[in-house]
Structure 1
Amino acid sequence: MQTEAHFETHEEVMFFDTDCGGVVHNIAYLRMIETCRTRLAAKLGMDLATMASTQQFPVVVRTEIDYRRPAKLGDWLTIRGRLSEVSKARFWCEFEMLRDQDGSILVTARQALALVQMPEGRPMRLPAEWVKDWTTSLVTTTS
């Protein structure tokens, strides 16, 4: 199963995303990244129903984020996520958030994830077929 390892979501900045000055607060950016990452995971075979039935969940173990420009109330944003790196135990996703009105890059982020078996909370190796398929799709999307 080879799939392209990227996904794009679109969000409008709402009141609950902003502070009293109408500027997006940092946790709202992470929520938007979470939505994009969840949709990307589904595209890669880790949809919510599958995770619930297998009790295997990708868990964020590291987030690196750079805030370049602020988004404001009413802005429309495009969030682009892509699988960027795969190892036997972890995988990395990268994100960029752009303001649709002017194409400005507002935020860039990188997250490391590990697969965890619940309810034990036991870290797992990524299934060999995921590593093979995802590595193949990385070659496809980066060339």
Structure 2
Amino acid sequence: MPLPAELRHTTREEVMFFDTDIGGVVHNLAYLRMIETCRTKLAGLMGMDLRGMADSKLYPVVVRTEIDYKRPATLGDALLIHGRLDELQRARFWCAFEVRRESDDALLITCRQCLALVQMPEGRPVRLPAEWL
């Protein structure tokens, strides 16, 4: 299926106890989990919904993450995770993310992730679908 020219998705998360360290600040793994949720929903818009991936055994696999921490989120903050398809190459694609606090729109995190499509169980990378390019 051809991809829309601009592919975006936003998810909302509330910072829970398990997202924070002893000081009540969100730790890096929690941000990555939140980005993973947004990226999974974005993949669904690209034709890779969870059930479809399980049936086809074709999965988008993260091969690189670049993340910049701008400001901390704390316990109870409502966060908006904005994700978008950023770049398509022959065998990989990039998604970009921003994490913002809902109450004041403060930019907390910027992130880019490079992904490749991998056919399982072989673990073999495959080219992106021609219709995507």
The TM-score range, normalised by the shorter chain, is over 0.9
Output aligned runs, 1:47-126, within 5 Å: 47-126=49-128
Deviation at 1:92, TM superposition (A): 0.2
Unaligned 5+ runs, structure 1: 132-143
- Partner residue in 2 for 1:128: 130
- Partner residue in 2 for 1:136: none
Counterpart-to-counterpart distance in 1, 2:63 and 2:111: 13
Contact 2:3 2:131 in 1 (8 A): no
Q: Structure 1 residues 28 and 50, CA, compared in 2 at 3 Å: closer, same or farther?
A: same
Percent identity, please.
67
Unaligned 5+ runs, structure 2: none
Q: Give the alignment's TM-score, normalised by structure 1.
A: 0.89
Counterpart secondary structure, 1:35: helix
Cα-to-partner distance string for 1:109-132 (whole Å, 9 max, x where unaligned): 00000000000000100110122x
Q: Structure 1 residues 118 and 80, CA, compared in 2 at 3 Å: closer, same or farther?
A: same
Q: Give the alignment's TM-score, normalised by structure 2.
A: 0.96
Q: What code does the residue aligned with 1:70 have?
A: P
Counterpart-to-counterpart distance in 1, 2:32 and 2:91: 23
What number of residue pairs does the alignment pair up?
Answer: 131
